[in-house]
Amino acid sequence: MTVTVSPTVDEFPTFAQTLSWLRTGSLKCIWYLPDPKKRRLCSIPIDPGDNQWAKQSAESLSNASPQTKETLQLLADIAAQSCCYRCHRNKIRRSGLAKKLATRWRNELQLTLPLGNCLVAQCINLSGVSISNPTTPEYASKPSNQSINPFADVQIKFARLALSDSAFAPSPTDKQVIFERHRVFEGETLMSKLMEPIESEKSSIGSLYFYTHTKNTFCGMIKIGYTASTIESRMDFWAECGHGYPELLDSLYHVRHPKRVELLTHFELLEHWYRQGWCERHVQSHAEWFKIDVETASSVARHWAQWIERAEPYDRRGYLKPFWRDTVEFLNDYKLSLSAELMMQIQEIKEGSTKVLDFIDHSTLCTRREQVVKQQVVKQQVVKQQVVNQQVVKQQVVKQQVVNQQVVKQQVVNQQVVNQQVVKQQVVKQQNLRPSRAIVLKIQNGQTCTRRRNQPH
């Protein structure tokens, strides 16, 4: 079983370090990885927009008093924005380390501010404490047994004067709400979501709602969501966020596949999609906020709801039916913008309507058709050429194999000839070494005569 080890607040960089990286535009995720195999900062690059916001917010603290609850909240937001969006931004908030790091950074700011500008600093005896420029460790190579915080020696003194947790929960009238652009994963588009199968376990009937909070804190942002229960119970749930009771702007009832309608609406309004920074009550960020007027958002959702109701585009297994799959691919080939209104008008034509799609120009469509046909012809020519090339390659391979076989046969014949010549040479050598029959007879006769002479008479 794998145990996840969380870092301590002292393992995060100082506020001065973070601000210097923000000013150079080289900020990387400040979340510390305490794993024994890593022991370093996360170092995933921070989005330039997040870097710019955090830098401006950090620089604005030079004229603010660190003892206010607004400063403490802003420091916590800067700490969160200094972590990577995908992995550690929500984690630093959920773990409570954003609050702790904000308190630590506030204490560092109190040490660097003039005593006349900080009432808390006047009550603290700083005798014997040196705040000269400390040696700053390297960004990504801090030893695990050392603290990044150069003011760790006096941090305990300031801990007694730390603000309570209530500083992070101001009243609904003055609570600052931070939004950031919502980012989808690579490859996630309206087309890809439309093609995805519908989850069978999701409720098939539900409601969609559009609400906001006070205009001075939410700046016209509206939230688009769905529920399988009552909208009133959902509004009660969102009221727990601490911004007052939600103002319901519009709603849709008896919607088929409400989760899919909500998802398609979100992706059609992708350019207006934002994420709420953090919700202390629900310990997460809410990512269904849109900076758009409610009339436009409601119209998009209604068209998607009507299309799913009338077209029944998904089969019993939850897959998009062939007609609509081909239609979506056709629109993609001709680079026509996919939208709920377009899909609804296609459904009306399918039902027998003779209404012309006034936002599809005939000449433009013909021009795009010519381009598509040309692309198809080019693709066919490329395919044909590839087939021809493959055939040529196969023929060359066959020819090479025939040549190789002939070479092998010739080598076998040559070897047989060589072997025959060797055998002949060996026979000749043996014949040259063997004495003739006449010589053998002479030698034998000579030996016989010698024996007769030597015999006694």
> Mind giving me the DSSP string for 139-197?
SS---TTS-S-TTHHHHHHHHTTPPPGGGGS--TTT----EEE--PPTT--HHHHHHSP
Q: Please name the helix (run of DSSP H) or strand (run of DSSP E) that holds residue 274, with its range, or none.
A: strand 273-276
Structure tokens at 281: 């009550």
Residue 221 has phi, psi (to 5 degrees) of -70, 140
Q: Which of 273, 189, 173 is nearest to 223 (CA)?
A: 273
- In the three-class reduction of DSSP (H, G, I as helix; E, B as strand; rest coil), residue 36 is classed as coil
Q: Which of 293, 346, 280 is nearest to 93 (CA)?
A: 280
Q: Mind listing the pLDDT tens digit for each residue in 96-138? A: 888 889 899 888 887 765 433 443 333 333 333 333 333 333 3
CA angle 347, 350, 356 (to 5 degrees): 80
Residue with token string 């055998």: 423
Residue 118: partners with Cβ closer than 8 Å, 6 or more residues away = 65, 66, 67, 110
- Centre a 10 Å sphere on the Cβ of residue 361 and count the other Cβ atoms it contains: 11
Can you give the pLDDT at residue 271? 93
Q: Which residues of the chain have pLDDT under 50?
A: 1, 114-174
Can you give the pLDDT at residue 172? 44
DSSP letter for each residue of 109-138: HHHHS-GGG-HHHHTS--TT---S-PPPPP
Q: Mind listing the pLDDT tens digit for each residue in 291-326? A: 999 999 999 999 999 999 999 999 988 999 999 999
Residue 322: partners with Cβ closer than 8 Å, 6 or more residues away = none
What are the C-alpha distances in Å from 359 to residues 268, 335, 350, 355, 364?
17, 13, 18, 12, 11
- The answer to whether 268 and 298 have CB atoms below 8 angstroms apart is no
Can you give the pLDDT at residue 153? 38
Can you give the pLDDT at residue 325? 93
Structure tokens at 275: 């994420």
- What's the DSSP call for residue 203? -
- The answer to whether 33 and 41 have CB atoms below 8 angstroms apart is yes
The identity of residue 309, as a single letter, is E
Give the bridge partners for 255, in sequence order.
Answer: 206
**C-alpha–C-alpha distance, residues 269 and 293, integer Å:** 11
- Centre a 10 Å sphere on the Cβ of residue 241 and count the other Cβ atoms it contains: 18
- The answer to whether 22 and 51 have CB atoms below 8 angstroms apart is yes
